[in-house]
Amino acid sequence: MDQVAGWLMMGGYGGFVWPAYGLAAAVLGGLAFQSWRRHRRSGAALARLQTPADMPRQ
């Protein structure tokens, strides 16, 4: 338990190390999520426009 607490403290620099990783995860993870969601939506919107009633299904 003390080992984990010591690791989280980061030698007294935990207040700088963890926010740095958190911020990087938030910015890059947020961009990845937004890009993935927009890709999904764009694919679905295009499929709606392109799918006629007589089209063979996959």
Partner 1 sequence: MRQSTVEKGAAMLTRFANPARFMRLSGATLPWLGGAAAGVLALGLVWSLAIAPPDYQQGETVRIMFIHVPAAWMALSVYLFVAVASAVALVSRHPLAEIAAQAAAPVGAAFTLVCLATGSLWGRPMWGAWWVWDARLTSVLVLLFLYVGYIALVNAFDDRSRGARAGSLLALVGIVNLPIIKFSVDWWNTLHQPASVVRLSGPSIALSLLMPLLVMAVGFGLLFGWLLLLRMRTLLNERKAEALRLHGQPAPPRHRPTGERGDAAMPAARPVLR
Residues that bind partner 1 (CB under 8 A): 7, 10-14, 16-17, 19-21, 23-24, 27-28, 31-32, 35-36, 38-40, 42-53, 55-58
CA-CA distance, 58 to 49, in Å (whole number)?
16
CA-CA distance, 51 to 35, in Å (whole number)?
24
Cβ 34 to partner 1, closest distance in Å?
9
Cβ 35 to partner 1, closest distance in Å?
5
Cβ 3 to partner 1, closest distance in Å?
11
Sign of CA dihedral 39, 45, 51, 56: positive
